[in-house]
Structure 1
Amino acid sequence: MAEARKTQDHIDRARAQWAKQLPDLDTGPMDILGRVYRLSRLVTPSIEATFASFQLDRGEFDVIGTLLRSGPPHRLTPTELYRSLMIASGSLTHRLGRLEKAGLIKRVPSDRDGRSLSVQLTDEGIDRAAAAFRQDMASEAEAIAGFDPEKKAQLAGLLRELNLAVEAHLSRQGPPEPAED
């Protein structure tokens, strides 16, 4: 039994429990999506600690990271930002306020519409986003360092295919129906 526990992970044990309680239910999707979710939950505290060491929460980093990776002049409209981040515009407004107060972003007249403002990283925002991302990537690399390099490449390819398949499925479904009050 001790040997089986060394080769079984949390998902294997959960599926075995579900098989006893609901033997007619196929829990196969947990093999993939359950493990992806669990891995995300396992590394989240480390990622959040990294960003906190730069006086950022994860949502704030998502904003300045998106601006940084957009390339010079590191400027996007609020609409471009919230579409990229897949969040509600109200959530973005709150984040932008905090980041502007911290001096990491500034609002500048839009290149396309003089009536609206774009969001642009400040020099401090560029420096902090780059430093935080470098540290995050180092931490994540350390977390998977013990995994075989060939298997990493294979897994990355398979996860890309899975991501594309799920995105295609969801796009065929259309946007979710709003919840009724």
Structure 2
Amino acid sequence: MDAEDHVAAIQADWRRERPDLDPSPQGVIGRLHRVALALTDRLIEVYARFDLTEPEFDLLATLRRAGAPYERPAGELAAHTMVTTGGLTKRVDRLAARGLVDRRIEPGDGRRRMVRLTPEGLALIDDAITQHLANEHRLLDELGADDARTLEPILTRWLRILDAD
């Protein structure tokens, strides 16, 4: 059963069981949720080629986007990756153990911890982001350029609304 049929079947079940309710939002939200899950599955396949989890990829990519010297303060890195500082510490520990990042104390401010890509981490994330973006292009190509262009501003507006809450 494909995603469209599955969601339509759920809606039909609710219409039958609770005719007093309108399950029409499930047509968009249910499908969008299923699309997000399917996309995540296809995205993490690429991360796995580099022995990275999704959060680890995100952390390395956030450091890479910072530009040379490819570092950010730990607190800023936590905010960019939407994780607690405790969660960040665990991720940084794992990546440091693999030689992909290192930590240092900011000169002049002993409280400020910096996380930086190592040369090995830079090489890995450059390879990973190249494959990741190729994968995203492939996924969007399946949708078609016109639909992707139509969908982007709709999703941008909806995220803005949801983030305002």
The two structures have a TM-score, normalised by structure 2, of 0.88
Counterpart of 1:118 in structure 2 is: 114
CA distance in 2, matches of 1:148, 1:93: 40
Letter of the aligned partner of 1:160 in structure 2?
Answer: T
Structure 2 unaligned blocks of 5 or more = none
Superposed, which structure 2 residues align to 1:139-150 within 5 Å? 139-150=135-146
1:81-160 correspondence to structure 2 within 5 Å: 81-110=77-106, 113-160=109-156
| Native 8 Å contact 2:61 2:125 kept in 1 | yes
Pair 1:32-2:39 in alignment:
no
72-81 or 137-146, larger mean C-alpha shift: 137-146
CA distance in 1, matches of 2:2, 2:70: 47
**RMSD (Å) for aligned C-alpha atoms:** 2.1
Partner Cα separation in structure 2 for residue 82 and residue 7 of structure 1: 35
* Corresponding position of 1:176: none
Residues 27-82 of structure 1: CA distance to partner in whole angstroms, max 9, x if unpaired?
Answer: 33323332222111112222222111111111111110111112222111111111
1:28–1:84 CA distance, 2 compared to 1 (3 A) = farther
What SS does the aligned partner of 1:113 have? coil
Superposed CA deviations along residues 136-173 of structure 1, whole A, max 9, x for unmatched, are 121222223232312210101111111111111x2xxx
User: Normalising by the residue count of structure 1, what TM-score does the alignment of the two structures yield?
Assistant: 0.81
Shift in CA distance, 9/70, structure 1 to aligned 2, threshold 3 Å: farther
Note the residue ranges of structure 1 that are not aligned, 5 or more in a row. 171-181
The CA deviation at 1:8 is 4.1
Amino acid at match of 1:48: I
What letter is aligned with 1:86?
Answer: M
Secondary structure at the counterpart of residue 141 of structure 2 = coil
